[in-house]
Amino acid sequence: MQKQNWKDVGELAGITAILVGLVFVYLEIQQNGIVARASLASGTSDQIDSIYQQLSDPQFAGVYSKSLQFPESLTESERMQLNGFFSRFMPMFGRERILYRLGLWESPDAVTRTFAPTFFADGYGSIWWSVRKETVTSDMVLAIDNAIAAPIERAQIGLAEFDEQILQKLPE
């Protein structure tokens, strides 16, 4: 073979190697995006799990139950507990919107739609939100207000309604 032919074969092999490398980089980026989404979803899942763990604490469950039925009779200490509990949701909702803007989540308010009606639709949670919404961004207010005002689906019923449904099923 002549020198020119070897040079052409070498260039073709180099171009092929570059193209294979670019395909590999593309696939790696896609895979990293999937892993990032899973990791971020796991973080939200862990947050939601810790919120429900707090609700299962007998002392806090009593305070929360009281907040649903008799919010006006809460002591200052109980209100402080509830204020801290409800405040845990706001960073989660804000984080969801940031991740959506970064292109990592497909919806800007799936968590908001699911949890805002559950915790802010009745009792002290409703009162807390009516005061707190003056301190958050307008798009967050709109998202939470829309979630609360939307027809509540079975999976999004408030805890008081859920408890009432359970009580109806209990044998006498």
DSSP string across the chain: --HHHHHHHHHHHHHHHHHHHHHHHHHHHHHHHHHHHHHHHHHHHHHHHHHHHHHHSHHHHHHHHHHHH-GGG--HHHHHHHHHHHHTHHHHHHHHHHHHHTTSSS-SSHHHHHHHHHHHSSHHHHHHHHHHGGGS-HHHHHHHHHHHHSPPPGGG--HHHHHHHHHHHS--
pLDDT (0 to 100) of residue 106: 77
Q: What is the pLDDT of residues 72-128, one digit of tens each?
A: 999 999 999 999 999 988 888 888 888 888 877 778 888 888 888 888 988 899 999
Name the band, by pLDDT with cuts 50, 70 and 90, for residue 70. very high
Tell me how far apart the alpha carbons of residues 63 and 81 are, in angstroms, rounded to a whole number: 8
pLDDT (0 to 100) of residue 53: 86
Q: Does the reported pTM lie above 0.75?
A: no
Tell me how far apart the alpha carbons of residues 65 and 159 are, in angstroms, rounded to a whole number: 9
